[in-house]
Amino acid sequence: GEDVEQSLFLSVREGDSSVINCTYTDSSSTYLYWYKQEPGAGLQLLTYIFSNMDMKQDQRLTVLLNKKDKHLSLRIADTQTGDSAIYFCAEIPTQAAGNKLTFGGGTRVLVKP
């Protein structure tokens, strides 16, 4: 089946680094994505990585991709209280028409002062 899996919850202290992990299903997925959802809001695209890359850095965000293990991670450096949200990883499986995204269940990140 098409299951993208994430841990449910992560608690981190303000100023520390957060690492959110995800395993995806389709080793041929071209792009993999990280979305952020704040309470009462829609999903916001944080970053994405092309499948021929191992790493992508964007300010405080670092995405690591291990294609062999089908593992994707998002590292947030110097985590702030504003980073408290639900984070979703997503893939577009190669057989998916219309760029249909398959989402993980989301990881709720709580940043403690």
**Within 13 Å and on the Cβ side, how many CA atoms surround 79?**
22
Position 10, amino acid: L
Q: Between residues 79 and 85, which has the closer beta carbon with respect to other proteins?
A: 85
Q: Between residues 40 and 113, which has the closer beta carbon with respect to other proteins?
A: 40
Q: C-alpha angle with apex 64: 81 to 5, nearest 5 degrees?
A: 75
- Point out which residues bind other proteins (CB under 8 A): 30-31, 33, 35, 40-45, 48, 88, 92, 97-101, 103-106
Q: Between residues 40 and 82, which has the closer beta carbon with respect to other proteins?
A: 40
What is the nearest approach in angstroms of other proteins to the Cβ of residue 3?
A: 10
- Give the DSSP per-residue string, 13-69: ETTS-EEEEEE-S-TT-SEEEEEEE-TTS-EEEEEEEETT-SEEEETTEEEEEETTT
What is the nearest approach in angstroms of other proteins to the Cβ of residue 40?
A: 8
Q: Between residues 98 and 113, which has the closer beta carbon with respect to other proteins?
A: 98
What is the nearest approach in angstroms of other proteins to the Cβ of residue 38?
A: 11
What is the nearest approach in angstroms of other proteins to the Cβ of residue 78?
A: 26
